[in-house]
Amino acid sequence: MKSQQAPCPHKTTQALIVGGGMVGCATALMLAQQGKRVTILERAEPKAISAQSPMGLRVSALNLASEKLLSEIDCWNDIVGVRACRYRRLAVWEDQLEPVEFHADDISQTHLGHIVENDVVQMVLWQRCLQHELIDCQLIGSVESLMQQHNHSELTVDGDVYRADLVIACDGGQSRIRQLAGIGVEGWQYQQHALVVGIDTEQASQDITWQQMSATGPKAFLPLAQGKGSLVWYHHADEIAQLKKLPHPQLLSAIRQAFPDQLGHFAIEQVASFPLTRQHAQAYVDGRVVLLGDSAHLINPLAGQGVNLGFKDVRALIDVMADADEANWASDKILTAYQRQRKFDNLAMMSAMDAIYATFSNARPSVKIARQFGLNLINKLPMAKRLATQYACGL
């Protein structure tokens, strides 16, 4: 195993990735496939997880495009080998209206995606990075300063200086690298929070994930491996705070009253909550610094597209670099092409989620009629449903 101790000063690498999460490690592995020397800086080593470990609450609905990317870096089979839940159907409805159901058969696929714990994905990717001869994984404390030159950047970390052709920020919504680069953000906190409840469904894992829309926010079910599941309850912040304080028997009763009958019998295992945030970087590129994933954008989790957008960032960056010669792989032209491609697409997805969020939280009768008409129309137009399913799957 490679050393994870702090390096000597003035260490030189081609790509310096700050953040060893899902997006950061995927970027490192794809760059290494292009023959680049990569250093990853991460604050904490991912914990080891097995199929017998307790289920984590932080999960993602990885779509087909994300699965393909993870397969290309030889990680997908290992992820599924720990645990993941394949889903073939996605249902959306309002109150007691007829559901709009999206099915893998509609797009000639075996499934729409997998629900996977974030910690499982990160662990597998990190282990693969440790094994790669072109990737150096370093555990660090504090990122202190950034200095940019014409053809490289220098990052001071724990008193040591790293010099790289390109610094890649994958260090999350509070990105230190974005701040040091002087890139501003635009966004806001939504009025709602989300309560996440890990449950044991006491039955085999299901193949459907669903959302019931309401004026107070969606109620969602995500199937997990081993007969487990994750409930997400969107509501006003004060309501979520009160629900989180409830003993499990009382919370179970509240969920049964609020959630649809499709939920069936279950037991509560763990509970957490988080605020809903929209945030978008004003630029994805500054000199020899580039932003990917949550460092660049935080999206309403309504459609579960967060990490999928991050992996689309990775794909776009790698693709624009693939055609560049060795001297220009991190040039302004290449990085600007990445920004042009991803900034618009991410903004469009964020705006679409906000439109859906605003529409379903509006209780006016005229808006409700329009919502019902729209859902019924999608249900009756196979082409519209197929296109929506393909887009959600990243196809």
Examine residue 271 and state whether it is found in any structural domain, yes or no.
no
Strands across the sheet containing 267-281: 100-103, 89-94, 208-213, 219-223, 228-236, 185-200, 267-281, 297-298
Residue 198 lies inside a defined structural domain of this protein: no
Quote the pLDDT of residue 3. Answer: 43
**pLDDT tens digits, one per residue of 53-85:** 999 999 999 999 999 999 999 999 999 999 999
Rounded CA gap, 293 and 23, in Å? Answer: 6
At 80, which helix (H) or strand (E)?
Answer: helix 76-82
Banded model confidence at residue 160, pLDDT cuts 50, 70, 90: very high
In a domain, 62, yes or no: no
pTM here is 0.92
Residue 238 lies in a domain: no
Report the distance separating Cα 270 and Cα 55, nearest Å: 9
pLDDT band at 156 (very low <50, low <70, confident <90, very high): very high
CATH at 124: 3.50.50.60
In a domain, 100, yes or no: no
Flag whether 230 is in a domain. no
pLDDT score at 7: 46
More confident residue, 23 or 203: 23
Element (H, E) at 298: strand 297-298
How many other β-carbons are positioned within 10 Å of the β-carbon of residue 191?
12
The residue range of the domain holding 310 is: 11-54+120-186+279-356
From 25-34, 70-79, 237-246, 381-390, the region with the lowest mean pLDDT: 381-390
In a domain, 375, yes or no: no
Residue 370 lies in a domain: no
Domain count, the chain: 1
Q: Which residue has the higher pLDDT, 345 or 97?
A: 345
